[in-house]
């Protein structure tokens, strides 16, 4: 057989050592071509998926757009301990979590780090009155209805949906924000719930699920301090509790709030959480 395909490297070696037999039989050549084609196809397939967003789920997790100011949450919310609500002022009473205006930054930065080059865009914005152009990180499609206050006022912490933002230098999307993800929690929210009322704290203490701290010099009652500690903006809360205790705490809260009845069965309000019109109105 003279028309047998030769490997590239054979050409140079053919003089001294003689022609090597191809390692693979000729028919594999076609297979290689086919595989190459297959490769090209799967590449195109991935691109098409990306373009048409058939898999927003895969693409969005970890999304971390570059911001014009390298604002650091792990510094401000973490180390300095500034409460999320100091900047995201509307989370408790509106659907939308406001991004702070430049004035909020200037409350501190007209006194400290006044000349920092990193803050130049903030100073320009302050002088011109034009908002800093922050790039949105989390973004649901327009046909989905989401509401921050509905979650935050029922003791679902920012951490359940955004992760440990207080440890992120730059915010990125931690959760898929897909319909399945919303529904997973709506079907079984217990482990994500925290007390939001004194009466709820008292119920949890009475059942031995929360431990009343010793009296403090401030004179603030133990249950008040427990409630403050469990605030939704304290992202690290509950880490010392076991999974099963978190679940039990949630079950007590679901009963307190009328989402389950005396027999532990879901009420109409619970069922509404998974009905289409709750999120698509």
- The smaller minimum CB distance to ligand HEC, of residues 41 and 181, is found at 181
Closest separation in Å from C-beta 241 to ligand HEC: 16
Nearest to 98 by CA among 141, 143, 148, 145: 148
Query: Interaction with ligand HEC in 191-220: which residues (CB under 6 A)?
Result: 192
Nearest to 226 by CA among 235, 237, 239, 217: 237
- The smaller minimum CB distance to ligand HEC, of residues 177 and 201, is found at 177
Cβ burial, residue 123 (10 Å; 0-12/13-18/19+): middle
- Which token pair is 200? 């709820």
Query: Interaction with ligand HEC in 220-279: which residues (CB under 6 A)?
Result: 232-233, 235, 257, 259, 269, 272-274, 276, 278-279
- The smaller minimum CB distance to ligand HEC, of residues 101 and 221, is found at 101
Query: Interaction with ligand HEC in 167-196: which residues (CB under 6 A)?
Result: 171, 177-179, 182-183, 185-186, 189, 192
Pick the binder of ligand HEC from 139, 169, 228, 271 (CB under 6 A): 139
| Segment contacting ligand HEC by CB under 6 A, of 2-10, 35-43, 114-122, 219-227 | 114-122
CB contact burial 210-240 (16+ within 10 A = b; e otherwise): beeeeeeeeeeebbebbbebbbbbbbeebee
- The smaller minimum CB distance to ligand HEC, of residues 180 and 219, is found at 180
Closest separation in Å from C-beta 246 to ligand HEC: 12
- The smaller minimum CB distance to ligand HEC, of residues 70 and 216, is found at 70
Contacts 24+ apart (CB under 8 A), 159-167: 159/235, 159/236, 160/185, 160/192, 162/138, 164/235, 164/236, 165/73, 165/77, 165/84, 165/235, 166/73, 166/74, 166/77, 166/78, 166/235, 166/236, 167/73, 167/74, 167/78
Query: Interaction with ligand HEC in 35-94: which residues (CB under 6 A)?
Result: 56-57, 67, 69-71, 73, 75-77, 80, 82, 84, 86-88, 91
User: Per rule CB under 6 A, is residue 123 in the interface with ligand HEC?
Assistant: no
Pick the binder of ligand HEC from 34, 35, 48, 150 (CB under 6 A): 150
Pick the binder of ligand HEC from 24, 45, 93, 113 (CB under 6 A): 113
Residues that contact ligand HEC, how many (by CB under 6 A):
78
In the block, tokens 């997973």 appear at 184
Cβ burial, residue 194 (10 Å; 0-12/13-18/19+): buried
């Amino acid at each position: 057989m003279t028309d047998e395909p030769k490997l590239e490297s054979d050409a140079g070696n053919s003089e001294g050592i003689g022609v090597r037999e191809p390692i693979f039989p000729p028919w594999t050549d076609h297979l290689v071509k086919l595989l190459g084609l297959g490769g090209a196809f799967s590449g195109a397939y991935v691109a098409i998926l990306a373009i048409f967003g058939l898999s927003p789920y895969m693409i969005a997790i970890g999304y971390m757009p570059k911001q014009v100011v390298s604002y650091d949450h792990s510094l401000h919310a973490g180390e300095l301990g500034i409460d999320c609500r100091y900047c995201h002022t509307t989370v408790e009473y509106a659907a939308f979590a406001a991004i702070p205006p430049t004035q909020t930054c200037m409350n501190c930065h007209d006194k400290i780090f006044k000349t920092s080059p990193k803050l130049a865009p903030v100073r320009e914005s302050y002088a011109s009155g034009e908002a800093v152009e922050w790039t949105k990180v989390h973004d649901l499609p327009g046909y989905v209805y989401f509401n921050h206050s509905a979650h935050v006022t029922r003791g679902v912490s920012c951490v359940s949906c955004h992760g440990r933002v207080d440890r992120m230098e730059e915010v990125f999307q931690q959760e898929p924000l897909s319909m399945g993800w919303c529904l997973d929690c709506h079907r079984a929210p217990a482990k994500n719930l925290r007390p939001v009322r004194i009466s709820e704290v008292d119920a949890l203490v009475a059942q031995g699920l929360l431990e009343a701290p010793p009296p403090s010099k401030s004179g603030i009652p133990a249950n008040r301090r427990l409630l403050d500690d469990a605030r939704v903006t304290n992202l690290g809360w509950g880490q010392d509790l076991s999974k099963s205790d978190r679940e039990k705490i949630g079950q007590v809260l679901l009963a307190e709030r009328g989402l389950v009845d005396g027999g532990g069965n879901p009420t109409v309000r619970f069922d509404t959480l998974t009905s289409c019109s709750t999120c698509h109105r």
